Amino acid sequence: MSDPNPIRSEIEQILLSHPRTRFAKVLRGMKDRLDDHQMSQKAHTEGQPIRADGIAAVRRIVSLTLKDELVTAPSQAEEQSNLYRELLNYPRSPELQQHIVTRLTQLQAIGPNVRMTPLGESRLGANDQPNAARQQPKCEKCDIEHAGECY
């Protein structure tokens, strides 16, 4: 039996395999059935403090994205685009690549600050030190910086 939503499954797999952002950490908490307060406490214990209402906002973006829905407010378009931009940092199927580009283009129509480039290094809390910066040239085929082959 085939997966009823292969895009959703691939997004989840990428985020859970690369837990460097709030999106990935909140998805992990959702999978573990943690509430916002529990996720906030866990983040604080790990030296990456975030309030429960911040977790709730990230949970909403993750949930909308996994349901293949877009935000409607310009103020939230950039945040949702950051989840899609994070996916550009990792190898992905041609179908997911096309889905990401389509969604980012749609989000640009909602919010003017949406970018099409991979999400840079994320600092998750005051005590979190940045990783070494990735230096990848723009792809000659699609003019986007990304890991792996262009689809």
Q: Please check the confidence at residue 59 and state whether its pLDDT lies above 80.
A: yes
* pLDDT one-digit tens code per residue, 41-58: 999 998 888 999 999 999
Residue 37 lies in a domain: yes
Which pLDDT score is estimated for 57? 96
Say what the pTM is. 0.78
Residue 139 lies in a domain: no
Residue 130 lies in a domain: no
Output DSSP code: residue 138.
B
> Rounded to the nearest 5 degrees, what angle is found at the Cα of 53, between the Cα atoms of 27 and 102?
50
d(CA 46, CA 148): 31
Give the count of domains, the chain: 1
Asked if 80 contacts 23 with a C-beta cutoff of 8 angstroms, the reply is no
Residue 119 lies in a domain: no
Q: With 0-12 CB in 10 A as exposed, 13-18 as middle and 19+ as buried, what is 20?
A: middle
* pLDDT one-digit tens code per residue, 113-144: 999 999 886 544 443 444 444 456 667 777 66
Domain range for 72: 6-110
